[in-house]
Structure formats: C-alpha cells, structure tokens
Structure 1
C-alpha cells in the first residue's frame, strides 16, 4: 500500500476517535517537532465530519493545535482568526463583539459571514444579530484541543449553510491515564487568571475531561476597576463503543469586559484611551414615550452569560454504513452596554450654556471653555437567545462512490430590549466625566436621539442535504453536494417602547445551495483542486427590521453568494504549502446604525491565500500566512459607491511567524517565537472617503519547559506599542474617530502538568 493510501486508511479508521488522533498529532508537533505535515487530519468541511488528511482535502482549511493557539496569545476568540488566510478580524472591541470579514465579502460590522461551531455543531444558527456575533459565545481555555477554519468550499451545503467562514473548536478528551494542567497567568495590566483541566478514565472505555478558568483584570486599557471578569466550566464525557464513539459535553460561561469603541483622533489620545472609568461606569438613561429614567452599570460591557450543552454520536455498521449525529442546546444572555461616540469633539465653549465653562456631574469640578468635549451615547442592549440544533447524517461507501445524506434542523429565538442614543457631552480624557451646565446634557430631549425597541423573534431552519464523492481513479476524485433548506421567521418589533407593534414579520421561504469540486493528486503528498459553489445569506431578525421596506414590497431578502476556488497543496516530512485562488460575487445589505434604512449592494472579490510552513532540523520553524485580494462594489443602492473598494478590508496582509527550539540539559527545551504582522491601507467606508493607514505589528513570546512538569510562558503583544486603526467612525465616516488596536501588553504564565 502506498503512503497516501495508508494515511487515508488511518484517517478513515480514526474517524471514531478523531480528537484522540488529533491530540497525538498535536503532541508530536508541539513538543518534538517530528510530526509529518502530510499526516495532519481535519474533520471540518467533510460530509458527516469524516476524518481526512488535510493534503487530500478539496477545499481551503486551516487547523491550529492548542500549542499553536497559545503562541498566538489571542486577546479574544475572534483575535485567533487572524491566523486564517483570507480573513480580516477586527478584535479591537474587547473580549466580545468583534468584526470579522471574509474574502472580500461585504460587511460593516459584527460577522455576518462567520459561524462558530463546537464539536461540529453551530453555537447559534444566526451568524450575526445586531450586537451579537458567534465568537462572543465562545471562550478559549485549556479544554480546547484544536481549531479548524473552513472558508468557502462545501460550506454552503453543510452545517447551517454558512457560505463564508466556519470555525470548529474541538474539545480535549480523556484517556486511559489521568493527566491534567494547572496554570496561573498574570500581566502588566494586573490580570489574575487561573486555568485548570484534568482528564482520565471513569471505567473501561469511559473517559472524562473537566476544566475551566476564573479571570479578572482592569483591562488592557485601564478603566480603574475590574472591567474584565469571567469564569467558565466545561465537562466532556466520552464513551468508546465496539462500533464507534459518543461524547456529551456541557460548557457554562459568564465572561464580559468593557466595550472599547472608536475614540477621537486628536492630540493626547492614543491606543491606551478608554472613555470608560470610575466617573462614567454608572449613569442613567431615559427611554420610552414617558421618558422613564433608569440607571445602569456600563462597566458590564459586552459578554456572554449562558451555556452550551450537546454531544456527538459516531457509529459504524456493516457493509460500509456510518451514522453521525451532532447536536447542542444554547441558552443565555448576550448583553451590550457601552459609551458610544457621536460626531466630532469640540471645545466646551461652543456648547456650554454660559459660553465659558461647565461643571463635572460627578466631581463638581469646573472645566474651562478650552476643554475638549464630545457627545457620548449611553447604549443599553439586553439580548436573550436560545437555540437547539441537530445535524444527523448517514453515509455509505460503495467501492469508489461514497454517498452521504443528512438532515439539519435548528430552532432558535432572540428577545431584545434596546435603548441606544442617550447622548450627552463628556470630557475627552481617559474616564472623562459627564458635564452639567450644557442644555443638551441637562435636557435630554434638546439634542439627543434615541432608538428604543422591544422585540421578540422565533425562527427555524430545516435542511436536507446530500453529498456524493466518486474516485474516478487513484488520483482523481469528484464530489457534488446539494442542500434544500426551508427557513421561517416570526418576528415583531415595538419601536419606541410604547406597546405598539411597528413591524411584524411572518416569513417562510425555501432555497437551494450546491457545491461541486474536483481533486487531483499529483503525487502522494501534493495535488490541485477546483471548486465552485452557490450559496445563500439567509435573513434573520435584524435583516427584516433594517430591510422592512424591501420585505413589505415582496423581496425574499435571500442574498446570493457565488464562489470559485483553485487550490494547490503540497506537504512533506517537514514542510507544507497551501495556496488558494478565489473569486466571488456576494449580495448583501448594510446600515450605518441600527434603525437607519438599509442599502443593498453587490461585491466582487478575487484574491490568493497562502499558508506555508517549514521546519529545519536545527529546531527552527517558519510559518507564512498571506492574502492578496482585490475588491469592487459592483452594485449599490448608493450609485456613488459603484466601482469603489469594499470597506475595511486590506488589499494585502501578511503574517510571518518564526520559532526556534533550544535544547536544554535534562531533555527540556526553550522555545522562542514571534509574529510579524503587516497589512495594506483600507477604506473606512464604502464611499472610500477616509483612509485607514496600514501598519506593522510585532509580537514576541518564549516557552520554557523547566522540567517534565513545570513550564513558563512569556508573551509580549504589540512590542512597539503601534497605534494601528481597525476602523473609523462607522456611524459618521466624516467624524475624526477611530478604534485602535490593543496597546502593548505582557503576560506571564506558570503551568504545572501532571
């Protein structure tokens, strides 16, 4: 049997123990650097989650081990996605609420083309609702074994039909021996965090893994109080059967942090600035027709307080039959409270009642007329979500043909209460306080706008999908996937909090998606693939609210996504090269701020993704991750935007990550690593009126294995304290506001493995 056939056979036989196989691969890769790149196994993007060699896959997928994730030292889940070619992740908003862009797909905020899975099941069917994207619902800790990221490819057919990016996090599983990790982490911004995980056997063929963390800090941008707090607990029980495996998990999370927003781009304001502080964290808003007043703690920021519980069953039967069922139940609160800038800063004398000064609402201090002030909105969003998802698949191997048929179902709901707006002038200073003696501040109706809603929505997705894979020869494989989906939404909105329903939706539509691919292996460990797909961006609750006029006129609000991919892959004992060229045409819509009318448009994008890795015998490893793309707005409800580039996505970006192992006495080692990130200029808006300058960022780290059990890790993020911008002012592009990347920070972790 040749090398490729043997590897494929091992991959297929390991489908019932995928995580154990992945962990073994990760162990080799992380500690001895002896892992052969061509033996890397992936399970995301394949029908029924079947395990295949990465080099055999006919689509673009990135996989990261637990150690690779630690080297990236992500500040949030979305920050990890910077390691995925073709993805632009703006994780500058804090621990939650990232903006994630994929391959030039249109977007203004959140992550409409991102789905996050755990153990192969989506955490929440809608990829994005206003103030909620999927990465908010997931926290990385020591219980995570692997992350895989699939962009394009068969995405429109499998799972929830996401045509863009699907990331899948795989949990660690127990084995025959008891083992675990205890880790303490601190930082130069007074982070206090403890992680722990333990795994082992409960009985013959019955295994457990439990773990989690407790964390607290004032935040990388010091708010003067513990503005980032959280804890998480995860349990995963695995049962190995004679003909398969099943596992059941539950993860409970309560984690939130200050919502970092664009700040005024003026002298004295840098990437350490935050408007949140002890003088501003508590405040009152007025809402509803009667101007009801209520106080809130805006230090709550953004986060997730909820749980995800589910499981996976994988069984093999005679004559080549395989059965897979992946399911989960998600429920919790994903609230957002923050201080949002409105317009440009100005001198206090321009807005003060007496034209010369005003007083601090908290301190009583007098501020002179030359004090810089800015309107800041107190925004409150309460969001309760719930969903149950089940993905069942049956596969059959007929000699050269493999056939998979599946049924995907999801019921989901979201109940929202908002009061956004509530502007008043604040001093432009870290934690700068609200003022009195300004008519706009003392009489809310004089210059503040509010958009207040109370909404409730229920939805369901039912999809039948099938996939065929045919081995024409030992080298050539063809595949075809089809998906027929029914999508229904029931949604009502009370705009104004006066008990009057202003928008009501009863929606029920069907759509079809498909994908077709060809994979040709040039050698055992190299090949090319071609893929085309046609998918859809389905409408969810906010799409109806923002596009209600279009819906009332009979539009189905289903946006088409067409993609073409041509890929080359090659992997050897100590190197791998994956290159993918893509072209897509995507329909979508956007709003400048909630409550504003939506603009419909079509983007085209073409580009090349590169992911290359080389390991030298001396212990040096080099990784290169690069994307070059060209985007164009082909159609738009605003004719002035036609022909422009897509907003907030660089024409090129590159990440170079070297690491070097130094052998120490006693068989231990020191690993030194770093990442150089550099990217092109971007446009802040689709009108291409404001440029966001490109920047270069350097991260460094070191991992010392002091003994068989004890280890130390030091990570430095943004070594040169670069003031890069990820966005301008999305509500008013002309306003001189922008959101900085995180300032320099240093983390130190001490771990004990047993």
Structure 2
C-alpha cells in the first residue's frame, strides 16, 4: 500500500474542501449534545457495546442526521449511502430499491448488498442483503420517524451482527425524548409527485414517552411514467417506559408500510467510444434518461402464466412491499456492574417486483429472424395511438417484462446481550456475551416474459411480430401484446417457485480493556445457519393459447431441489486505540468476517438429492457442483486510522481518516445474460482484493456548517464463469474491479442567515468506472436547498436536485449499441417545494 500517496490524497481533501454539516445528534442513551460538543463525543450505538464514544473506540463509524438527508433530497434509498464514507453505490436505481451496494472497494458480484446489513433500531429487517428480488433496500426507507443513520464499517460489524462483514447501516428512530414534531407537505414543481411527511413525540407520563412518524406519497415521479408509479404509505411508532433511578427502559416499536415505487432499469445514451474509453455521454433522441423511463402508459399491466396454471393480468407497479412489524427493546442495569439488553422483532413481509428491463437491438436484426418457429416479416405497434401500424424505428427494446411474487419474506429476530464492567486498578475491563437468533423465510415465484417494445422514453408501446408483411390477421400474429414467451426468457432456471427457510444462531463475546491512555478490544462470533425448504425450476416448454395466439410457456414443474443442510463458521475482530491526547486517537484493527450465501446458491446443481451440499469430492465423482466451499464467503480486512477534533478559529472541526486493505472470495449462480455469462445460467467464482482510504470531516463556524466524506480504493478482481462444468469466461490475473470508482465523495455546506433562512449546497461525485470492456467517465452532481422561516414555526423550502442537469451515467456497464451505450443516469434537474409547520 502506498501510504504516502494516500496521505497526500487526505491532505488535498482537507485543504481543498472546507466541508461540513451539522454534527449528528447523539442517539438513544446518549445525552442531547449542545452546539459546542463534537460529533466524536457521541456514543456509538450500532454494532457495538453502546458504552464508548466515537473518539474512544477503534472502529470506523459515521452518523448522518435527518436534516442533512432531507436537504440532500436523495433520489433513492441507496443514494442516502453516498453520504457515508466507505459505501460505494450508484444510487440511480430509483426509490423502489434494487441497488448494488458495495463497501470499501469490495464489489458486488451479482447484485444486492451481500456484505452490508441494513438495520432499524439495531436489528436487521431481512437477514441477507442480496436476496434475489428482495434486496434489503426494498424494506428500509428513510422517513421523518428516523433521527439519524449510523454506519459501522468493518470492525465490530463483523462480530456484533450476522451476515455483515462489510458494514452495518442502522436507521435510528426518534424516541420522543423531546416534545415536538412537524407536518410537511412536499410537492414536485416540475414533476408530478406529492408527499406528506409528519412526526410527533413527547411525554405520556413522567416515565413514559412516545414518537410516531411517517409519510404518504403519490405521483408519477421525476421520470414521467404516464401513470402513478409511486403510491406509498409508511408509519412507524414507539413507546418507551423508563425505569426508576435511571436503571433502564422498555420500549415497544411498531411499523406499517404499503409501498409501490419504481425501479429504474436503464436508458440509452449517445457517446463517443475510443480506445476503450467512453466520453461525451449525452441523451439519446427520444429517450433522455434524466427525464424519461420505459415504464409506459401502454404497458401498465401484462399477462403472466401464474403458479395456479392460468393466465393472469398483473400490474406493472415497480417494487411493492407490505410490512407489518412489532418490536420490543429492553435495557436494564442489574447492578452497578451488570447490564442486560434484549431486542426482538416479528415482521410480516411480502411484496413484488414488476419492471420492464431495458435491452437494445436493431429492428433489422429482428426482421427475418425466427421467433417461435416462424419467420418475422413485420413489426407493428401493439398499443397506443399507433396500434396496428408498422414499426420502422432503427432500434427497439427487446428485454423482459418481469413479475416476481414475494409471497413471504417474514422473520423473527432476537438479540440478547449481557455485559459486566469491572475496575482492575490498571484499566476498566468490560466482558460482554450475547446470543443472536433469526429465522428468515424466502418464498417467491418468478415470471420472466420475453418482451418487445419500441425504444422510447415517452410511453413506449409494446410491439407485436407477424409472419406476413401485409396481413394483421390473428393467424399471422406471432406475439401477444408484445410478449413472445411466458416465464421462459432466461430458460428453465428462472420459471422458478421456492419456499425456503434460513435459521441463523450466533453466540458472541467481547472483551474490552480501557484506561486513560489506550483501549484494547477483541470479539468473536460463532455462526450457524440452517437451510431448509425447496426450489422448483422450470420444466419443458409448452404452448399456451393467449387470446388465439400460441405462446411458448414454462412453469415451475421441472427439477426440484430440497434444502436440508447447515454451515457453522467463526468471525472475529481485534482492535487497539491509543488516546494520544484528549482530542486525538490513533487506532488499528484486523477482522475476518463470514457471510452465508443463501438463496443465490439454488438452481445451480450444488445440492444432493437428500438436501445436503455437494462436496468437492462428490463434484468430482458425481454430476454436481461444489456447494460447500462457496456457501460461506469470508472477508479479511485491515485498517489503521486516526480521529481528531479541535478548534479552527472560532469554530470546531473533526477529522477521521482510515487506511484500508481487504480481500474476499465469492461464488454465485447468475441466471441472466451478462458480459461474463453470455446466455445466462453460469456459476461465477470471483476473487477480490482492495486497498485504499476513507476520509470524513466536519466543521462548524458560526452559522456555517460543512461536511465531507471521501472513499478512495484500488479494487481488483479475477473471476471464472462456468456453465454445466464448462468454462465460459475467466481471467488468470487480477484486473480492475467492475463498476467500482477509484474515488467517490460527497461535500455538503449550509449557512444560516440571521435565523431567517438557510442556504445549502451538496456535491456528490465519483471518478471513472470499468464494466469489463469500457471505462466510463465520472462526474459530479450538485444539489441546492433554500429554507426560509417567514413566521415562527413555519418553514418554506425549495430543493433543486442536479442543479446543472448533468448527464451522469453512474449505473453503467449494461452494454453498447451502434454509437451508444446503455446505463442508468442520475435523475435530471428537478425542483421540489415544501411547506413545514413545526409544533
């Protein structure tokens, strides 16, 4: 690792960016901080023992408060994470979710957030971050009930949480310790969307307090879909009973959500491609990804062949969730030395995924081709004002209409911890033991239709194929409503139906030795995950009569897998911190964390008939694939860093800087067609390594506040892709990791003007990325906000997202066509107005 280069990078950031935001407020048991208290004085409550401040603990932890997030106006849940160092995410997938969330240069192999756990009040909402069509960012949404978001990277995330060796990101609720709240109406000025936000909390009695908050949202969104795609409600509430003499509390937490939000799957763009580099990216005529989407007024619903064996019309309603949960949190001091904490939650989760994926082909390549055994002679509009007319566009969209039913993603989770703190005369010794239990159900059925539509961002029509250039008779029609196949686009892997259960138990322990000069800690976690259930893949293709047209169809009546196995593994971490001065600490840490590879193991030939995993020995002798080795992925991480606070003139600053190094291996089954899996259906084995740095700084100077975070990594990977035991693609040496920028950053500043107004600016950017073939440019997007307080308790706001309407194709790597590329750009300039009444 070139430490001098990283040190120079940190110095440049510190000198060139005067950065800040209001330091995040201390949470839970931490006392409310006044303006002179540094954010490094906050108690760490996430993936920790909850008894040390940030400056005194040897973990990398960052808190961002609710106001900063609201001012940023993120376009997706994952874009919130661009405010956190170490978390690398495009943030362009839309408010529904389905983002790829990487951490510290450790890339996402096939989707989701495999090494990042999202929590609400200290417990995971779903056990695994990369559940297929059920990623963790579907289920956790920032709303007014949230006081702050706290993120721990590496370190104790490895041993205080399961399935999270990369990071834990915890949404911490407002618990109503201070009376008050607000009602806020937000309205899109240049787009159709209305949102009502609210929260209120305070005392019920001398020893009880409560809080309730949430939002209602409806509209078409900033990418005009032609119909209401956003239709969501989320409400969260809690009640806390404080015990006498300050010995603890008992808290009940409730959540209800019924959401429907779009998932953006890409747009075409024109670009210059030369020498393996992409430049001059600009909108495609008729489909500007900053303002347009392939969700369409003429494709609001479509037919699937359902698990009951009939055709069913379903909504094209993006990512939908239904959530009902109840939780309980208990904290009690049994004596001056012994405390007990127990957190539990029962969740009833279900939902769906319905989206038109984007793929581009030439119209000429379809004309004359064979589809369903017949030669295509004509392409006609299937709907809209041009229905029945010939389609003559140069390009068309030949990707799928997907509908996934998430029948059940419910869970029960409990985390019990007992801690004892003792004085040794030399240092305080804290011993902590805990036991974690979570049972996660994953029950879904997939419906992946072969589809064809015009390439347009203005309510594209589905396209029907005919085997006659002149006749539109049903006898000459090959497709129905633009669909040429039900459930068969990715072959028999993906007309699947499954009902799986994963039970994760994990005893863990920690020892901490702490005095005025140093802090030493070590912790270990013993994981055991039991998998059970079944998966049924697609069977032979057959024809279904769809309004007189015979459409090739698959259903889940093929190979049946039974799962009945368990894996046990150990995660550990050890750290040391030197308190050089009251305002400067230096730390080092090593960690090895495991994560269980759950439903992405299925339909890949890794299971024996009795439900056990195929071993390497069996893979050699039998027709199966080694499932034991890749069933647990291990991440090794090493870090050294410093935390500093102090005065800068009349202001206060904090600086946190960490050097990083890590590696891991991963194996997944990839059902879709990708660059490393042509034709789909591959087992992809990856090895990754990375090194780099994280930087986070704050400054408060009078009415001026600034925050900066940056992540620098050199991430590398090598992979082997195989189908049915035969290598499809691979590399012998490490090369640049896919879709990970070397540098990503966010800068946020705001200034209070005489307590009458606040003006804020945020810049979010990244350097170039690589998709395995091409290097895509990185850009910076600026957002601004203005808040005016004309009367007491009344605030009028204006947020401008993407102020300069920058075409920033962060979600790139979806392929090229002719003189263009496909990708998912940042939403274009949008204006949102708000009115808030506080009370």
Same fold (TM > 0.5): yes
Structure 2 counterpart of 1:699, from 772, 780, 783: 783
Within-5 A mapping of 1:33-432:
33-47=35-49, 50-95=50-95, 96-107=97-108, 108-175=110-177, 178-187=179-188, 188-242=190-244, 243-266=247-270, 267-268=284-285, 269-271=287-289, 272-286=291-305, 292-298=310-316, 300-347=317-364, 350=367, 355=377, 358-363=380-385, 364-383=387-406, 384-399=408-423, 400-432=428-460
SS of residue matched to 2:587:
strand
Distance 2:124 2:817 in 1: 34
Distance 2:42 2:489 in 1: 56
Distance 1:169 1:515 in 2: 24
The answer as to whether partners of 1:349 and 1:356 remain within 8 angstroms in 2 is no
Residue 565 of structure 1 corresponds to which residue in structure 2? 639
Shift, 1:672, TM fit: 0.9
Shift, 1:375, TM fit: 0.8
The answer as to whether partners of 2:739 and 2:813 remain within 8 angstroms in 1 is no
The answer as to whether partners of 1:18 and 1:51 remain within 8 angstroms in 2 is no
Distance 2:812 2:604 in 1: 22
1:586 is the counterpart of 2:610: no
Shift, 1:441, TM fit: 3.0
Shift, 1:361, TM fit: 3.6
**CA separation of 1:729/1:347 partners in 2, compared to 1, >3 Å: closer, same or farther?**
farther
Structure 1 counterpart of 2:767, from 680, 686, 694: 680
Residue 4 of structure 2 corresponds to which residue in structure 1? none
The answer as to whether partners of 2:123 and 2:413 remain within 8 angstroms in 1 is yes
Residue 541 of structure 2 corresponds to which residue in structure 1? none
Residue 669 of structure 1 corresponds to which residue in structure 2? 756
Task: For residues 601-632 of structure 1, give each alpha carbon's deviation from its aligned partner in whole angstroms, at most 9, with x where no partner exists.
Answer: 11000010100112223x22222211111011
Within-5 A mapping of 1:725-740:
725-728=809-812, 730=814, 736-740=821-825
Structure 1 counterpart of 2:533, from 491, 507, 524: 491
The answer as to whether partners of 1:718 and 1:742 remain within 8 angstroms in 2 is yes
Shift, 1:445, TM fit: 5.2
Shift, 1:77, TM fit: 2.3
**CA separation of 1:600/1:397 partners in 2, compared to 1, >3 Å: closer, same or farther?**
same
Task: For residues 676-712 of structure 1, give each alpha carbon's deviation from its aligned partner in whole angstroms, at most 9, with x where no partner exists.
Answer: 222111012xxx2122221121111122233331112
SS of residue matched to 1:698:
strand
- Which sits farther off after the overlay, 739-748 or 481-490? 739-748
1:543 is the counterpart of 2:598: no
Shift, 1:731, TM fit: 8.6
Structure 2 counterpart of 1:520, from 574, 578, 587: 578
Structure 1's unaligned 5+ residue stretches are 1-16
SS of residue matched to 2:445:
strand
Task: For residues 289-330 of structure 1, give each alpha carbon's deviation from its aligned partner in whole angstroms, at most 9, with x where no partner exists.
Answer: 98x4322111x1013211232121111122410100111112
Within-5 A mapping of 1:509-658:
509-546=567-604, 548=606, 551-554=613-616, 555-556=627-628, 557-572=631-646, 574-594=652-672, 596-617=681-702, 619-634=703-718, 636-637=720-721, 638-640=729-731, 642-658=733-749
The answer as to whether partners of 1:491 and 1:541 remain within 8 angstroms in 2 is no
Residue 464 of structure 1 corresponds to which residue in structure 2? 507
Residue 13 of structure 1 corresponds to which residue in structure 2? none
Shift, 1:713, TM fit: 2.1
1:712 is the counterpart of 2:774: no
**CA separation of 1:18/1:87 partners in 2, compared to 1, >3 Å: closer, same or farther?**
closer
Residue 17 of structure 2 corresponds to which residue in structure 1? none
Shift, 1:506, TM fit: 1.1
Structure 2's unaligned 5+ residue stretches are 1-25, 271-283, 370-374, 468-477, 539-554, 617-626, 673-679, 722-728
**CA separation of 1:751/1:257 partners in 2, compared to 1, >3 Å: closer, same or farther?**
same
SS of residue matched to 1:276:
coil
Task: For residues 461-502 of structure 1, give each alpha carbon's deviation from its aligned partner in whole angstroms, at most 9, with x where no partner exists.
Answer: 11110000012x421111110111111101311112344442
Distance 1:351 1:339 in 2: 25
Shift, 1:421, TM fit: 3.5
SS of residue matched to 1:78:
helix
Distance 1:351 1:426 in 2: 18
TM-score, normalised with respect to structure 2: 0.81
**CA separation of 1:546/1:115 partners in 2, compared to 1, >3 Å: closer, same or farther?**
farther
TM-score, normalised with respect to structure 1: 0.90
- Which sits farther off after the overlay, 215-224 or 650-659? 650-659
Shift, 1:342, TM fit: 3.6
Shift, 1:334, TM fit: 3.1
SS of residue matched to 1:157:
helix
Task: For residues 351-401 of structure 1, give each alpha carbon's deviation from its aligned partner in whole angstroms, at most 9, with x where no partner exists.
Answer: 696756523344425134345322131111111211101000000011121
Residue 28 of structure 2 corresponds to which residue in structure 1? 19
The answer as to whether partners of 2:687 and 2:717 remain within 8 angstroms in 1 is yes
Shift, 1:287, TM fit: 6.4
Distance 1:588 1:438 in 2: 45
The answer as to whether partners of 2:563 and 2:607 remain within 8 angstroms in 1 is no
**CA separation of 1:635/1:423 partners in 2, compared to 1, >3 Å: closer, same or farther?**
closer
Structure 2 counterpart of 1:441, from 451, 470, 479: 479
Distance 1:356 1:499 in 2: 34
Shift, 1:578, TM fit: 0.3
Shift, 1:590, TM fit: 4.1
Task: For residues 7-65 of structure 1, give each alpha carbon's deviation from its aligned partner in whole angstroms, at most 9, with x where no partner exists.
Answer: xxxxxxxxxx943646x33xx4xxxx544334333211313xx1422111211111011
Distance 1:600 1:356 in 2: 42
Structure 2 counterpart of 1:504, from 562, 565, 580: 562
**CA separation of 1:168/1:448 partners in 2, compared to 1, >3 Å: closer, same or farther?**
closer
Task: For residues 257-284 of structure 1, give each alpha carbon's deviation from its aligned partner in whole angstroms, at most 9, with x where no partner exists.
Answer: 1221122335312222211111111222
Task: For residues 334-358 of structure 1, give each alpha carbon's deviation from its aligned partner in whole angstroms, at most 9, with x where no partner exists.
Answer: 3100101245343588369675652
Distance 1:351 1:51 in 2: 70
Residue 11 of structure 1 corresponds to which residue in structure 2? none
Shift, 1:641, TM fit: 6.5
